[in-house]
Structure 1
Amino acid sequence: MALLKSLFPFSFGCTGNVVKLIISILIYIVIGVIGGIIIGFLAGIAYVGWLFAIIGGLLDLYCVIGIILAILNFLKIV
């Protein structure tokens, strides 16, 4: 559990508070959007574009897992 708290710091601060839950979800959405825009530009580079495409997929996966953990923490399941 300590590893999850260190990897997803915004997910574990919203226990029982709707405002903190919405803020943590918005943080993950903003991270995904900004990272997606930057990685989208970098994916156009000829020889390393495939690497940035993989990194973009991992970033999206990180954001989805962070949102799921925030919701589970809000519901006091985790």
Structure 2
Amino acid sequence: MKQRKKIKYVHEGRYVAEVEVELLEDDTGWSPYLSVEDAYKLDDVRGAIRQGNLESAAKYGQIYELRPVAHQYVR
């Protein structure tokens, strides 16, 4: 079984979390897939952002706030 690191983005409301996970690769038809721990990590980040707890979510990775672009710049 091979493992490789990957950045997953968790979008919730006006925030996006950048979280590093490991993808597991093997010879099955389900490959690549996340470990149970990494799947829970992504769920924890999403839940923390939903509750407004950005400090807790930031323990898992970088958090970004999305802001709309002014209409005058969009063509």
- The two structures have a TM-score, normalised by structure 1, of 0.33
Higher strand share: 2
- The two structures have a TM-score, normalised by structure 2, of 0.34
Please say which structure displays the higher CA radius of gyration.
Answer: 2
Higher helix share: 1
Greater length-normalized contact order (CA 8 Å, ≥ 6 residues apart): 1
